[in-house]
Structure 1
Amino acid sequence: MEKRLRTYSGILFLITLILWINITVWMQEFFYLWSLVIGVVAILSGIVWLVSVFRETVTSSYWSGRAVSSLNSIVSVLIFFGICVVVYALVLRWDVSLDLTAEGRRSLSPQTVKVLESMTKEVKVLCFFINIDDEAVVIAKEKTLRFLEQCKKHTPFIQVELLDPQIDRARLESLGITHASAQGTVVLKCGKRQRVIMLSGANPRMEERDFTNALISVLRDTEIGVGYLTGHEETPLDDPTSGGLSTAKALIEGESYKIEPFQISISAPEVPRKYEVIIIHNPKGDLHPEELKALKKFVEEGGGLMIFLEPWVDVKLGASGTEFLRPWIKQEFGVDVGSDIVFTSQRRNPWEVELRTDPKPFENVEEGFMEFKGSMRVDHPITQRMDQPLLLRAVRTITPQEKLPKGVQVIPILRTTPDYWAETDLSRLAEGGTVKFESGEKEGPLYVAVAGVKKSEKEDANKKRGKFVIVGDSDFITNERISIGGHVNFLLNSLAWLTEHEELISIRPTTKEDKPIVLSALQKRWLIWFSVLLTPQVVLIAGLITFAVRRRSQ
């Protein structure tokens, strides 16, 4: 009877022990209900087996040295196993990790270190990350905090605070942030000045260049000047109606820019030096050649230019009857602003264009395969981390010429899906007529926004580079439509790039680093099971089989 008890309790102990270990490792939860139940059964059966073995050893061997040694071995193995279980449970709850990737090991650039070491004012860095188990969010948070720890080694003036936008919603709204990224939002604040950095995309992280640029901005004693050109029936900047730009103005000023309307005098054409960027928004009248000369000089001296042009606008020409703005853009920047509208037969609203990062519509398109992800350019600071869509209405094509002017570099940053074409019969559309694709019209994908740089033609210009962004639509940033998250990001990203300091261009981006391997919960369980339990269990099973075979042969 006692022999059977010892045998059955030993078998039950071995089976429940293996089940307990496997369930605990697989569920990654030490206090899982079934794990606890099976663990208790394993402990009780183990105690019964141990007591039975102890009694048998005492009665048969009379405490011989061999018996004591055997019992000591059994107890030592059980104690060691218990220690391993406790250590494993503690490790599961020890939230510490090391970033040994090339990105995690690299140091800060000399430009960033110089800015940090020259700081004399305190800057608060507020990191808003949702407290969820999403792997992309967790990785973005860890990489951001590691980067900020590197920065804190070079200055005592950076204070980092980690917040949850769902819990600290009031704090987020008090900063004037209406669109926070689900993958992380970082706010730099110094006094009344602040800059917002959105983390997004398939591989979200804090770019060093973005951080340094934002840091320089909030540390400045003066605000960055943005001039809004008027005098040609542009959209009113302070208009609170649906077609106005009052919301866009508030968002821009919330990023520590100072935007104000201005005009260029024809008699003394000059752009005020206080402006770093000039915005031209849907002028219904043409610009005078003297105004364009002033804008050319402004760009050559390192200024930024942002132009929004609607396709429906019939530009009111001057006394000469000649159009100046679009030919000037073509001559100076090598960009062809089309007299057309992008059109499709695949949507209910045929001139509505949705720009997403979904690559599926472009599966049969070879051109731009490496440069674009869906409709967004992946290697330009304006669009490389945009993951929210843009929804444009009535858009004209914006296309770089094959042969660009000297010193000009232009790249497309937004494109339509392949089902669009460039419809040139605008009069028929305006009259409500139907149109269809005709031979000679450009087929999609069609470029609808470009960004570029222009080096000064003067030899003594110290390599100054002006920048420009040209978009074939304008109403997407009006009060009615700017609430779409992608519209806000595009506007603010464009301003950030146009005002980026020249010395930051050499800071290497991290977007071309290998993406982290993101495993699903099931994949992580299999990985842990294979690495922790497979080999020991194979050895155990081999040992049991060997023991059984030898016992039968005796």
Structure 2
Amino acid sequence: MKKYLDYLGYVGVVLIVISLGSYLITSVFKLFQTITILTGLVILIAFVLANLARIREFFSKRSTKYGTNATVTAVLMLTILVMLNFVASRHNYRIDTTKARQFSLSKQTIKILKNLKVDVKATAFFKSDAGQRMRDLLEEYAYHSKKFKYEFVDPDKKPAIAKQYGITSYGTTVIEGLGKVEKINKVSEQDITNAIIKVSRKGKKIVYFTEGHGEKDIDVQLQQNRGADGYALAKKAIENENYEVKKILLASEKKVPSDCKVLVIAGPQTDLLANEKDMVQEYLKKGGSALIMVDPSPSASLADLVSPWGIEVNNDVVLDFSGVGQLFGAGPAIPIAIKYGKSPITEGFQNVMTAYSLARSLKIKKEHDSGINFIELVKTGANSWGETDLQLFYKERKVGYDEGKDKRGPLTIAIVATKKVENDTINGISGEKRKTRLIVFGDSDFATNGWFHFQRNGDLFLNAISWLAEEEDLVSIRPREPEDRRVTLTKAQSRKIFWLGVILFPMAIVGAGMVIYIRRRK
């Protein structure tokens, strides 16, 4: 009987460990864990009561006292570590130590997640042993918003769920919100964020592109050597951000449609009619938003359209002789900009390039409405100037800076103008305080199919649209490319590392241990 009582203590400890271990794995304290731990405690108490005399005798020994002190110290340290781990698991903090912040979400995505007002769920359909990159990415999304939840489903193990969502291939992720569903097939921050935008926003805002004056065509696609001057890529990118894109012939309308969130005039070759300009002015005065892009002469300048808003369009062609454009085969007629005004549109743009093929310069008028606020959004470098002799430039392709006639850089090629409007009746809402938002570019080619993907051109255009639509958090997100951080070693360096790390250091540690052991034996 005494022999069996000795084993009771071990049984009780084992049952308690099993119960606690099961809880740590599942994070749920169910009936099984409760029964197990209670049984273990009862058996352990019975063991202690049955062996009180032996326990007293054991703890009265001198060796036991020293051993008890060591045990108590170890238990205290273990308890502290367990508590720290418990606190860290409930209040975790992440640090990305990579130089390019490769494993962190962009500021724009984080802003969207922080502003989520509805529940969004992602269901990723991957095999059980796949999808780690997507898992890491979705974990980052969930970390930044309690409104975002995700789940991984193996289509082979749960075919009913896969059939419910119409999944036909591995690696598909379904994003759900407000009863809407979006599917993506790439592990991409941009795709996931755009899908979240689509399912979490109510309705679609409409962006109108004017036509009838030789404007850039949003339906012309890039095919082999044709379509570089079209706006199909820009249209697709806008639609990806949950906007609806339409064409509008203002001459056939009585006013700019009340559902117009952003009006875009992209590089008209001929001037707008007088009644069309009146429509645009009325739209802006009531708190509308417009993106007006003009090109150098002989294209229409629309100077009288933007002049009431304090912006002057210069009759020149901006030339850039910094030599930066030569790095990618561009001449001086394609100025490169790396200087930007402080605005949500150009946040994070410092020291990155945007290019403008045949642009004219702009400036803020000295005399303008005091209620209008301006931002010089894009500026060229100091080695640029505005060539005013257009006949010499176009016909003879000869240029030269003329002091007193041409203006030396930096030159402004994009300006933002805003003005608060007290009485607004746009979009059918009366009496709401709004702000007129106007962006004027001295070039329309920067957003064409041929230039949209050059550096940050596309991002600048999309950010301008989002800002005009009063949704600054809807911006284009450029995915981070993994950096090549490899260290290349010579044969001599490899041999040194081998001898030091694999041979000498381990032998030194073993030798030091043997010396200490021999000294203690003496």
Normalising by structure 2, what TM-score? 0.55
- Deviation at residue 398 of structure 1 after TM alignment: 2.4
SS of 1:265 mapped into structure 2 = helix
In structure 1, the residue corresponding to 2:436 is in which secondary structure? Answer: strand
3-state secondary structure, aligned to 2:257: coil
Which stretches in structure 1 are left out of the alignment for 5+ residues? 1-64, 100-108, 153-157, 195-214, 317-322, 357-374, 506-554
- What does the per-residue CA deviation read over 1:21-59, in whole Å, with 9 as the maximum and x for residues that have no partner? xxxxxxxxxxxxxxxxxxxxxxxxxxxxxxxxxxxxxxx
Structure 1 residue 260, shift from structure 2 partner = 1.6
Give the deviation of 1:437 after TM superposition.
5.7
- Aligned match of 1:237: 218
Give yes or no for the alignment of 1:469 onto 2:439.
yes
Distance in 2, matches of 1:172 and 1:416, equals 43
- Residue equivalent to 2:261: 276
Match of 1:455 in 2: 420
Change (3 A) 1:484 1:293: same
How many residue pairs get aligned? The number is 352
Distance 1:410 1:478 in 2: 26
Shift of 1:295: 0.4
Q: Tell me which residue corresponds to 1:350.
A: 332
Deviation (angstroms), 1:247: 1.9
Pairing partner for 1:338 from 303, 314, 320:
314
Amino acid at match of 1:97: N
Aligned position for 1:252? 238
Q: Distance in 1 between matches of 2:390 and 2:398?
A: 10
The answer as to 2:78 corresponding to 1:97 is no
Matched with 1:25 is none
The match for 2:468 is 498
Q: Is the 8 A contact 1:176 1:254 kept in 2?
A: no
Match of 1:398 in 2: 362
Confirm or deny: 8 A CA contact 1:126 1:187 kept in the other structure: no
Q: Is 1:443 the counterpart of 2:450 in the alignment?
A: no
Q: Provide closer, same or farther for how the CA distance between residues 162 and 439 of structure 1 changes in structure 2, counting only shifts above 3 A.
A: farther
1:153-552 equivalences in 2 (<5 Å): 159=149, 186-189=193-196, 193=198, 215=200, 218-220=201-203, 223-240=204-221, 241-265=227-251, 269-311=254-296, 313-315=297-299, 325-330=302-307, 332-347=308-323, 348=326, 349-356=331-338, 375-378=339-342, 380-386=343-349, 389-430=353-394, 431-436=396-401, 438-439=403-404, 441-456=406-421, 462-484=432-454, 486-500=456-470
**In structure 2, how many angstroms separate the alpha carbons of the residues matched to 1:393 and 1:83?**
67
Q: Measure the CA separation in 2 of the matches of 1:68 and 1:233.
A: 98
Question: Aligned to 1:470, what secondary structure does the other structure show?
Answer: strand
Amino acid at match of 2:205: I
In 2, Cα distance between equivalents of 1:417 and 1:343? 10
- Partner of 1:395: helix, strand, or coil? coil
Do 1:243 and 1:480's aligned partners in 2 also have CA atoms closer than 8 Å? Answer: yes
Partner of 2:57: none
Give the secondary structure class of the aligned counterpart of 1:187.
helix
Q: For the structure 1 residues 433 and 145, does the alpha-carbon distance in structure 2 shift closer, same or farther, using more than 3 Å as the test?
A: same
CA contact (8 A) 1:299 1:465 kept: no
Helix, strand or coil at the partner of 1:412: strand
Matches within 5 A, 1:43-82: 68=63, 71-72=66-67, 75=70, 79=74
Q: Over aligned residues, Cα RMSD in angstroms?
A: 4.7
**Which amino acid is the alignment partner of residue 261 of structure 1?**
K
Provide the C-alpha distance between the structure 2 equivalents of 1:334 and 1:96, rounded to a whole number of angstroms. Answer: 52
Matched residue SS, 1:219: coil
**CA 1:81–1:160 in 2, change beyond 3 Å: closer, same or farther?**
closer
1:169 Cα deviation after fit: 7.7
Q: Which residue of 2 aligns with 1:522?
A: none
Q: Give yes or no for contact 1:420–1:445 (8 Å, CA) kept in 2.
A: yes
> Any residues of structure 2 matched to 1:121-160 within 5 Å, and which?
123-124=120-121, 145-149=142-146, 152=147, 159=149
Cα deviation for residue 300 of structure 1 reads: 1.9
> 1:425 and 1:125, CA in 2 relative to 1: closer, same or farther beyond 3 A?
farther
The answer to whether the Cα contact below 8 Å between 1:407 and 1:457 also exists between their aligned partners in 2 is no
Provide Cα deviations, 1:83-113, integer angstroms capped at 9, x if missing partner: 49976996999695359xxxxxxxxx9xx99
What secondary structure does 1:235 align onto? coil
The alpha-carbon distance between structure 1 residues 146 and 271, as it changes in their structure 2 partners (threshold 3 A), is same
Q: Which amino acid aligns with 2:304?
A: P
* Distance change >3 Å, CA 462–CA 172, structure 1 → 2: closer
Q: Specify whether residues 71 and 273 from structure 1 end up closer, same or farther in structure 2 by C-alpha distance, changes over 3 A only.
A: closer
- Cα distance in 2, alignment partners of residues 172 and 443 from structure 1: 53
* One-letter amino acid of the counterpart of residue 423, structure 1: E
Report the secondary structure of 2:458's partner residue: helix
**How far did residue 305 of structure 1 move?**
0.6
Q: What whole-Å deviation, never above 9, does each CA across 1:432-481 have from its counterpart, x for those lacking one?
A: 11323634533333222122223347698543322111111111211122
CA distance in 2, matches of 1:376, 1:495: 17
Distance 1:172 1:413 in 2: 38
Which secondary structure state, in structure 2, belongs to the residue aligned with residue 352 of structure 1?
coil
Query: Partners of 2:368 and 2:171 in 1: how far apart?
Result: 48
- Indicate how the Cα distance of structure 1 residues 409 and 93 shifts in structure 2: closer, same or farther if over 3 A, else same: closer
Cα pair distance change 1:307/1:436, threshold 3 Å = same
Aligned residues of 1:354 and 1:391 also touching (Cα < 8 A): yes
Distance 2:192 2:87 in 1: 28
Contact kept in structure 2, 1:309 and 1:471, CA below 8 Å? yes
CA separation of 1:422/1:405 partners in 2, compared to 1, >3 Å: closer, same or farther? Answer: same
